[in-house]
Structure 1
């Protein structure tokens, strides 16, 4: 039994789980405070320096919340800092990137029909793009362009569109979407780590020292927080996209990703407007629906074929195995009705996760997935609809473990 493959699969599961949990914590607190900030009301009798207040009810009790744009004259000894949610979301997301896409670069990251580079070069490109993305974004925010909220948002959107296209010229479609999400999430997390929290710490230190805090620190932090607010929903889409090849594995995948950012902005605009008590812009939902229909249409456009993928030495070993002819027969008989360029199973119009077994090379490229999904577990075929036998499952296990 290949214990390492099983342990690595469980590690991937654990990292994904932790990433989802921390992301829920960050997104939940972020959405809550954005709604709270927009819903603040200025009433007579507020304490000195208070910008507004909000009364809320939850869990059988009432909450009376007041916001100070700078800070009150006296601070309590204990302050609750909302930062670790953002930090751990990024760290677990990067861990998932390393476990899935860096460790499995030959399968998940590199597409040699797109860019013929080694796994190490692809990983360096990945790391460099994330770091350079933050530097470019940060310098734009600090430049004179940063004084125009609308102008800056438009420029940032253009950058995201360029990156959406650029990643599809570097990696597999699946990896391109994940990297666009990581690119955006890196900017969001760095906003918290390098701007929002440091600015708040300076304000607290000034107050404790008896100095008047600079108001621009709060304005800068608020601008970055606003960006994070509008970027959140597209990042969630990109996180989930690896389960939907209609999004990442079609010819216009980068256009789809670009439109998703617009949908996210429209939805957040609706909630921000409602929370600020400035109206009820239902039109945003209609516009979002139209964009989603366009995305559905784009996903149906036939994909341009780019030729046969080059195979690795490991894949050659799987094909050379004495067990491979029987494995090929099993896969073609039990799996290819769904996992093929032209599917034959009712209701399946595109191969799940874009995994196709059209050739020997395709089967060898997905040997690990076949081993885990149909050999070591009974996940595939779903409900054993194709009637794979236990003997055939043992064959898949033997083939994989003896060929590694």
Structure 2
């Protein structure tokens, strides 16, 4: 595939992914907030669990939620599903375009685990499928009836998957696969559980039968799971832009912190919308803040003792850059994956290297993000020499 076509495909998929993702997240957040705002009132339609009065855009809205389902359904019943389906489809399309088509550059790091692109892609697909089935089995088991226990096991499972990914894929590949795994679980919750259960309820009503309330409860459980996983997965999906996350030696621990921070913030928002007093939910914010501070400290820049006192000449550093960087970062890249230098970074001269020094230091010295997939086999000693030269400028 030509770089021109690949770039346009990437842009269009990314744009579509954002649009449908925003729609899915918006409806998810809205319905959870709506559910938590329901109140029992003196006069309600028979079979109604609670109602909510809302105002938006200059209009007033009165919403009712039935305990199970109404006695009859209108012809214009609206389903909320395609935004979830399309979010996953466009996301997987991006995974294929960005990581599968360029597996040797973006997905594989030979210094972590030597393998062929086909092997990396197979591991990727199997991990996404296997992750869903394991999560679904947990929810259907007795463990699924114990919310704190289930939440703990799912948390440990995602962190365990992150640990495994960091020992199989590149830093960027590992982080994006945590996001893809969680996103697959969320989309499958809609496709495999929530919507089918709603169809069972609708089917019973159409037959004149009383629907089983368990289907609504199961759907609600999975919907809540999706709600709490949304904030962490959003950060995972943009992580490839931040080597301080993906290039950290213990990035799987950062994943654990992101899960905690996101869940705490989401819980605070949910319970605030439910009307809980701040004294009852305020503890979540300090927990999130502590998690954030730990993540910041973990990723803070550190001076490598091996670099101190090391003298590297312009000629030596340009030899390193010429060997590992210029194939992509030139006015006319020689790398088949690029028609233009990534992010406009050109490193063909000492002055250019000095100009982009801080970027190079973050990407290739303080993390192993560059070269992509370490295709050129850049050594730790060369990274130290590059870092010493940049520090001396």
Judge same fold: TM > 0.5, yes or no. Answer: yes
Q: Which residue of 2 aligns with 1:37?
A: 35
1:78 and 1:330, CA in 2 relative to 1: closer, same or farther beyond 3 A?
closer
Larger relative contact order (Cα-Cα within 8 Å, sequence gap ≥ 6): 2
C-alpha RMSD over aligned residues = 3.0
1: CA distance, partners of 2:73 / 2:141: 33
1: CA distance, partners of 2:95 / 2:371: 25
2: CA distance, partners of 1:97 / 1:152: 29
Q: 8 Å contact 1:168–1:176 — kept in the other structure?
A: yes
Q: 8 Å contact 2:109–2:375 — kept in the other structure?
A: no
Q: Which residue of 2 aligns with 1:290?
A: 290
Q: Which residue of 1 aligns with 2:55?
A: 57
Deviation string, structure 1 residues 271-293 (Cα, Å, up to 9, x no partner): 11111112223332222121111
- Structure 1 stretches of at least 4 aligned residues deviating more than 4 Å after TM superposition: 301-304, 352-360
1: CA distance, partners of 2:271 / 2:116: 48
Structure 2 residue ranges without an equivalent (≥5): 305-323, 335-340, 379-393
Q: 8 Å contact 2:178–2:236 — kept in the other structure?
A: yes
Q: Which residue of 2 aligns with 1:130?
A: 128
**TM-score for the superposition, normalised by structure 1:** 0.79
1:177 and 1:43, CA in 2 relative to 1: closer, same or farther beyond 3 A?
same
1:57 and 1:247, CA in 2 relative to 1: closer, same or farther beyond 3 A?
same
How far off its partner does 1:330 sit? 5.0
**TM-score for the superposition, normalised by structure 2:** 0.81
Q: How many residues align?
A: 342
1:344 and 1:215, CA in 2 relative to 1: closer, same or farther beyond 3 A?
closer
Q: Which residue of 1 aligns with 2:363?
A: 351
2: CA distance, partners of 1:179 / 1:151: 25
Q: Which residue of 2 aligns with 1:107?
A: 105
Alignment partner of 1:336 out of 353, 365, 372: 353
Q: Which residue of 2 aligns with 1:5?
A: 3
Structure 1 residue ranges without an equivalent (≥5): 305-314, 364-404
1:168 and 1:77, CA in 2 relative to 1: closer, same or farther beyond 3 A?
same
1:357 and 1:198, CA in 2 relative to 1: closer, same or farther beyond 3 A?
closer
Q: Which residue of 2 aligns with 1:266?
A: 264
Q: Which residue of 2 aligns with 1:387?
A: none
Say whether residues 1:361 and 2:347 are aligned partners. no
Q: 8 Å contact 1:356–1:362 — kept in the other structure?
A: no
Secondary structure of the residue aligned to 2:258 is helix
1:355 and 1:50, CA in 2 relative to 1: closer, same or farther beyond 3 A?
same
